[in-house]
Chains A and B, each alone.
Chain A
Amino acid sequence: MLTVALPKGALLKDSIRLFQGAGLDFSAFLDDSNRQLQIPDPTGAAQALLVRAQDVPVYVEYGQAQLGIVGFDVLKEKKSKVAHLHDLGFGFCRMSVAVKASSPYRSATELPPNCRVASKYVHSARDYFESLDLPVEIIPLYGSVELGPITGMSEAIVDLVSTGRTLKENGLTELEVLYESTARLIAHPLSYRLNTDGLRDWIKPLQPAIAPSA
């Protein structure tokens, strides 16, 4: 049976809508009273796993799910070995460097060498500062990264920004955009190659449902 991994959080609604377009209904995950993490489609043709966004590529890489939907930010951070099939257009956001609005820095290159940068996206942050040839100390955090500069623990942060409101309300300003991110349809490479469970036929109807990102 086809298994798809769906991310908890911001991408869930659009992901469920996408699969509805392909005739698979996982809307039970949107029901507030639902506590199940694994639900079948009412037709019995497929099932869905509800997992943290960071874990979607893990389930897909190990083949427990043949398809998954996850943000490009997570794929870039985890460097998972999965097939990248489609840019789904929704869930737009950007990975940015931000500092206190009151700080003197106006670009990332102005940051002092060996300064501290707090981030949930340790690899993205490290790769970016390496590409600038600027040595920094990355402080891994799991959330509320904005507190890094506010409390003085770090000079800057690298974090996901969608509207910029959180940054503004916490007195931070965006310096640079590392990359832009949208939701991606990913697949288990071996299942994709072998067309396990008729995977190719499942992917096809997922395409017309995709809204152009323009």
Chain B
Amino acid sequence: MIHQPPVGARDLLPIDVAQKHWIERRLQDVFHRWSYHRIITPTLERMETLTAGGAVQPESVIQVWDAEEGFLGLRPELTASIARAAVNRMAGATYPQRLYYTANIFRRQAGEQARGQHEFYQAGVELLGAGGVSADAEVLLLLADSLSSIGLTHWHLVLGDAGLTRSLLWDFPKPLRRKVREAIARLDRIELETLPLEPSLRERALSLMDLRGTPDDVLHQVSQWALDDTQQAAVKHLKSVVELLEGHPSVTLDLSLIQTFDYYTGLVFEVVSDRESGQRVLGQGGRYDQLLSLYHPQGQMIPGIGFSLNLQDLQQVLLSVGQIPNQTLASDWLVVAESTQAIAVAFRYAQTLRIKGAESAVRVEVALEASSTDSARDYALHRNIPNIAWVNASGSVTIEAIESIL
């Protein structure tokens, strides 16, 4: 029989891993430069932990049965785990906490996508315990720095404010509010046109669905609306954040960018690749000021904001612009024992090369088959290995440079 991975799982072969690491290393360097610390949380969590925030539906989680623990879920995202760990395991820690992760996540796909991929990789940050304009701006600027570190120059930021948009929906009668919100979240203009709304409210719903454009235009537009104090404060906050983003090539302020669940409380955003790379969502994030209180033993409110980047989408976009390594690294040295008696010497010599070249991450391999001189040269040529060290039993070493065929 042929053993296949389960539907939706995939193997990452050395070249895929090399590309993934290329991205992860650069992102981690940026996260470190911004003083973020890595956190590692378990792959398996209790279902209650994963679904507490309301953004995760149980049916989207791959569940695992444990005789003692009951149903556990493979994490579909990291924020729930980090929130849980932060409030319970890091009690007494001072805020702000700057945390980052790179990890795999699992999502059960339903319906037409049921046979699609279910394991993904993400890198992201969570900034916990800070709620002001500066915290929002830090996360967005860190996002921009992360993307430029991997050489991504053209991307769009779609920015919304879930708190403001939700409060603008309070004008709608309660029985219809949920439907209006779902229609706006799904960009369903037809539903808004057919819901039993008064003409003025219908007008309001339709303009909310299209409340997007350059930040200046949208902020101007929304400040024409009759806003209460909280809403005015939210608009002012948004204005300050946008001002701190000045110089960013492409920001769309989109006040229709909301979810159908109450997870995000303030800023929400998506990173979208440009037209040439197929306009896919590369990352997403937002502010979740209520989430940590759901995990806190005393329900203490601790603000938080973060983003996650979809590594595989980044990898595909970078491949299309040719930024990323397209082959695995060749060895720098091939050490060949000239006789079976020389094998011990060969391994010793290889080790000295490794120690000497440790700084430059030298790659040394020992020829495993005693074979002819010509076949060792062919092998080195074929594998793009630039140097052969011929070692004989007496311990003498001859170095030969191999001319690349490229």
Interface residues of A (CB under 8 A from B): 63, 78-79, 81, 83-87, 184, 187-197
Residues of B within 8 A of A195 (CB): 213, 252
Interface residues of B in 245-296 (CB under 8 A from A): 252, 254, 256-257, 272, 275, 278-281
Q: CB within 8 A of A190: which of B111, B112, B190, B272?
A: B272
Interface residues of B in 190-229 (CB under 8 A from A): 190-191, 193, 212-213
Residues of B within 8 A of A187 (CB): 187
Ordered by A's residue number, 12 sampled pairs between the chains whose C-beta atoms are within 8 Å are A63-B278, A63-B279, A84-B190, A85-B190, A184-B190, A188-B279, A190-B280, A192-B187, A193-B254, A193-B256, A194-B272, A194-B279
Least CB distance, B13 to chain A, in whole angstroms: 26
C-alpha spacing A84/B192, complex, angstroms? 10
Query: How many pairs, one residue from A and one from B, have CB atoms within 8 Å of each other in the complex?
Result: 50
- Is there contact, CB below 8 Å, between B279 and A83? no
Q: CB within 8 A of B279: which of A81, A87, A190?
A: A190
Q: Report the nearest A residue to B156, measured CB to CB.
A: A194
Q: Is the interface of B mostly helix, strand, loop or mixed?
A: mixed
Least CB distance, A206 to chain B, in whole angstroms: 12
Least CB distance, A139 to chain B, in whole angstroms: 19
Is B171 part of the binding interface, using a Cβ–Cβ cutoff of 8 Å?
Answer: no
C-alpha spacing A40/B34, complex, angstroms? 49
Is B158 part of the binding interface, using a Cβ–Cβ cutoff of 8 Å?
Answer: yes
Is B188 part of the binding interface, using a Cβ–Cβ cutoff of 8 Å?
Answer: yes
Is B154 part of the binding interface, using a Cβ–Cβ cutoff of 8 Å?
Answer: no
Is B189 part of the binding interface, using a Cβ–Cβ cutoff of 8 Å?
Answer: yes
Q: Is the interface of A mostly helix, strand, loop or mixed?
A: mixed
Q: CB within 8 A of A196: which of B111, B190, B257, B275?
A: B275
Most chain A beta-carbon neighbours within 10 Å: one of B156, B190, B278 = B190
Q: Report the nearest A residue to B192, measured CB to CB.
A: A84
- Is there contact, CB below 8 Å, between B189 and A193? no
- Given A63-B279, A191-B279, A194-B272, are A87 and B257 also a contact pair (CB < 8 Å)? no
Give the bracket for the number of chain B residues in contact with chain A: 20 to 34
Residues of A within 8 A of B187 (CB): 83-84, 187, 189, 192-193
- Is there contact, CB below 8 Å, between A196 and B193? no
- Given A78-B112, A79-B111, A190-B272, are A196 and B189 also a contact pair (CB < 8 Å)? no
Least CB distance, B316 to chain A, in whole angstroms: 13
| Further pairs besides A84-B191, A85-B190: 7, Cβ < 8 Å | A78-B112, A84-B187, A86-B189, A190-B281, A192-B187, A194-B272, A195-B213
Q: Report the nearest A residue to B278, measured CB to CB.
A: A63
- Is there contact, CB below 8 Å, between A85 and B279? no
Interface residues of B in 364-406 (CB under 8 A from A): none
Most chain A beta-carbon neighbours within 10 Å: one of B112, B191, B281 = B112
Residues of A within 8 A of B186 (CB): 81, 83-84
C-alpha spacing A135/B256, complex, angstroms? 39
Q: CB within 8 A of A85: which of B112, B158, B189, B254?
A: B189
C-alpha spacing A28/B158, complex, angstroms? 38
Residues of A within 8 A of B190 (CB): 84-87, 184
Residues of A within 8 A of B111 (CB): 79
- Is there contact, CB below 8 Å, between B252 and A193? yes
Residues of B within 8 A of A194 (CB): 156, 158, 252, 272, 279
